Structure 1
Amino acid sequence: MPNYVEKNSSKPGQTQPPAPEALLARLRSLVPTLSRGPAQVGRAVLADPQAIVPMTMRQLAAHTDTSDASVTRLAQAIGCTGYREFRALLAASTAVQTAAAGPAGTGRLPADIELDDAPAEVVAKLLAEEQQALADSAAALDIAALTASAEAICAARRVVITGIGASGIVARDLSAKLERIGIISQPITEGHHALTAAAVMEPVDLLIVISASGETADILEPLDAARAAGIPTVAITVRPRSRITAADHVLIAVAARESGMRPAAMSSRTGQLFIVDSLFALVYQRRAEQAGAAVTTSHQMLAPRRHRKDPS
């Protein structure tokens, strides 16, 4: 089975400009990975994208108390050649966003949870952030990469899915879904186990790695080992400028932003689970007959347990 490469990349890890509707989603994920100057510019753009559109590069630098170089670096980090291209893309993006309704249709960040927030306010802020994560992930999703990933799963003899910490929850979820429709799948949530599993995989297998940061050694090491052995790989990450993107594999980016009071990566996990559900739906489409039969069989096997009478 051949290796797959990221859509529209002339070389591994190269960033391409997003579609206008995906610009703010990508920017939200990108800002935490940038140095102080470009990050400051990025936050200003997200705070009021419509106000930024008419600004020249010098005006934006003054507005953000940064420099022309910081503005240029932000534009290039997004995938644009310079500020002129970035401003044109931002103008198109604001036109699209203006037509949308609700919190997912704005460029503003959801408010962070504060220590003195009332319970109802905490719930409302969490809801807004979860909705934003889903909307951003859908807007920024590379459909070609998602499709290539689904095809790779269908072609594989077995699928090994590895994730550490909160990403391990997502790995187990995807594995359970695939097993339910008859695909041999193994979730791995421990680094040493992931490395030894990668060492015995073969090119007819598929390795899927899930990492919010894209920098976790327990993910990068088995990924490198699999690639060196010619094993097809898929990476799902929140950080498009991390080390996990510097490889010739399918890359699926998740758009998410965590607030200071959310160390458990809840927002990124929401985006990851959305990607997993989308990926599973595409796999099911391609294996509809086998998948339907497997689901029917599992339902039949579990039916007696669901309707078992209470012995008391």
Structure 2
Amino acid sequence: MAQSGFARIRSMRDQLTGSDNKIAAFILQNPTEVRSLTIQEMANVVGLSTATVSRFVKRVGFGSFREFSLSLASLPVPENSFFGEIDQTDDQNEIVQKVFSGAENALEATVNLIKPEDWQLATDWLINAHHVGLFGIGGSSIVALNGYHKFLRTPLHIEQHPDYDVQLMQAVHMTDQDVAIVISHSGRNHGTLNITRQLQENNVKTIAITGHPKSELAKLASLTLASAAEEVNIRSESMSSLIAQLTIMDSLFTLVGVQLGDKTQAVVERIRGTIEDSRE
């Protein structure tokens, strides 16, 4: 099931500025009327050129205005619906298909958001760091733990702990020779922000993984890798955003592992040998 234009715009709303934000606002505020507009009519209504509208359509992930227009066939889901596009009349297969589709859409939108140069910069920082700290509270601790589990297979010196107080103490010990990866979907968790401010005070290079690139966390971070997923409830906690953030972490691990090549392989083989020995 392809993601509708409404869903894609809502998932990327924080990343849209200027003319793009103006077009997005009009579309979301006029969901019925917008479905019948041509590209010229939409340009006229919002007071912009057809070229600007065309660039907007491609920026939100559609190949052409016609493809985008066809995706608007169904009306958007109310923003206070916890389960998003899932309806009470859906059968088991329809529910599962929609959940999987949400995850696929989150991944597709996320990979289109992050610039190649940002992946490269993050990889360079991690490879050259003395120590790497992974920080996340609540649901975000799942992403941090996943990263810790993966990066243990590389030569990097990794630290991660689920307890907030321990994380804060770890942040105190980090220096400008280290790198921190801080995860928060909302980007406004008070504990996470306290940790990030401490990292900033110590001049630690900080990579934020968040679904809100205009959040306080993103402003404090040295680099932001934004995840995208349609927000499906009033608390702005997206179920599919977790999948996107786990994949961002997996991508960082893979980029580092591949670039370190033989060193990574040597660590993997030692770990594999140790685990096999423990099973005998």
Name the TM-score, length of structure 1 as normaliser: 0.70
User: Are 1:29 and 1:255, in contact at CA under 8 Å, matched by a contact in 2?
Assistant: yes
**Structure 1 spans left out of the alignment, 5+ residues:** 1-23, 61-67, 69-82
User: Does the C-alpha gap of structure 1 residues 294 and 191 become closer, same or farther in structure 2, counting only changes over 3 Å?
Assistant: same
Aligned residue for 2:183, secondary structure, equals strand
Deviates more, 1:46-55 or 1:191-200: 46-55
Structure 1 position 287 matched with structure 2 position 264: no
Cα shift readout 1:134-176 (whole Å, capped 9, x = no counterpart): 1111111222111111111111111111111221101111111
Aligned ranges 1:158-197 → 2 under 5 Å: 158-197=131-170
How far residue 195 of structure 1 moved from its aligned partner, in angstroms, is 2.1
Which residue of structure 1 aligns with residue 125 of structure 2?
152
Structure 1 position 41 matched with structure 2 position 26: yes
User: Does the C-alpha gap of structure 1 residues 266 and 292 become closer, same or farther in structure 2, counting only changes over 3 Å?
Assistant: same
**Structure 2 spans left out of the alignment, 5+ residues:** 1-6, 78-83
Structure 1 position 254 matched with structure 2 position 227: yes
Aligned ranges 1:74-223 → 2 under 5 Å: 83-84=48-49, 86-93=52-59, 96-98=62-64, 112-223=85-196
How far residue 54 of structure 1 moved from its aligned partner, in angstroms, is 2.2
Aligned residue for 1:251, secondary structure, equals strand
Which residue of structure 2 aligns with residue 29 of structure 1?
12
CA distance in 1, matches of 2:30, 2:269: 50
One-letter amino acid of the structure 1 residue matched with residue 53 of structure 2 = R
Aligned residue for 1:252, secondary structure, equals strand
CA distance in 1, matches of 2:185, 2:61: 30
Which residue of structure 1 aligns with residue 40 of structure 2?
54
User: Does the C-alpha gap of structure 1 residues 261 and 216 become closer, same or farther in structure 2, counting only changes over 3 Å?
Assistant: closer
CA distance in 1, matches of 2:37, 2:59: 13
Aligned residue for 1:112, secondary structure, equals coil
Residue of 228, 252, 260 corresponding to 2:201: 228
Cα shift readout 1:267-287 (whole Å, capped 9, x = no counterpart): 001110111111111101221
How far residue 240 of structure 1 moved from its aligned partner, in angstroms, is 1.6
CA distance in 2, matches of 1:304, 1:45: 64
User: Are 1:166 and 1:265, in contact at CA under 8 Å, matched by a contact in 2?
Assistant: no
User: Are 1:162 and 1:171, in contact at CA under 8 Å, matched by a contact in 2?
Assistant: yes
CA distance in 1, matches of 2:38, 2:30: 6
User: Does the C-alpha gap of structure 1 residues 247 and 148 become closer, same or farther in structure 2, counting only changes over 3 Å?
Assistant: same
User: Are 2:43 and 2:53, in contact at CA under 8 Å, matched by a contact in 1?
Assistant: no
Residue of 250, 256, 261 corresponding to 1:277: 250
Percentage of matched positions with identical amino acids = 22
Name the TM-score, length of structure 2 as normaliser: 0.77
Aligned residue for 1:55, secondary structure, equals helix
Deviates more, 1:127-136 or 1:247-256: 247-256
Cα shift readout 1:59-107 (whole Å, capped 9, x = no counterpart): 24xxxxxxx8xxxxxxxxxxxxxx55742422555895249x9x9x957
One-letter amino acid of the structure 2 residue matched with residue 231 of structure 1 = V
User: Are 2:145 and 2:160, in contact at CA under 8 Å, matched by a contact in 1?
Assistant: yes
CA distance in 1, matches of 2:220, 2:129: 20
User: Are 2:148 and 2:160, in contact at CA under 8 Å, matched by a contact in 1?
Assistant: yes
How far residue 258 of structure 1 moved from its aligned partner, in angstroms, is 3.6
How far residue 212 of structure 1 moved from its aligned partner, in angstroms, is 0.7
User: Are 1:30 and 1:241, in contact at CA under 8 Å, matched by a contact in 2?
Assistant: no
User: Are 1:133 and 1:268, in contact at CA under 8 Å, matched by a contact in 2?
Assistant: yes
User: Are 2:131 and 2:157, in contact at CA under 8 Å, matched by a contact in 1?
Assistant: yes
User: Does the C-alpha gap of structure 1 residues 200 and 288 become closer, same or farther in structure 2, counting only changes over 3 Å?
Assistant: same
Residue of 268, 275, 298 corresponding to 2:241: 268
Q: CA RMSD in A?
A: 3.7
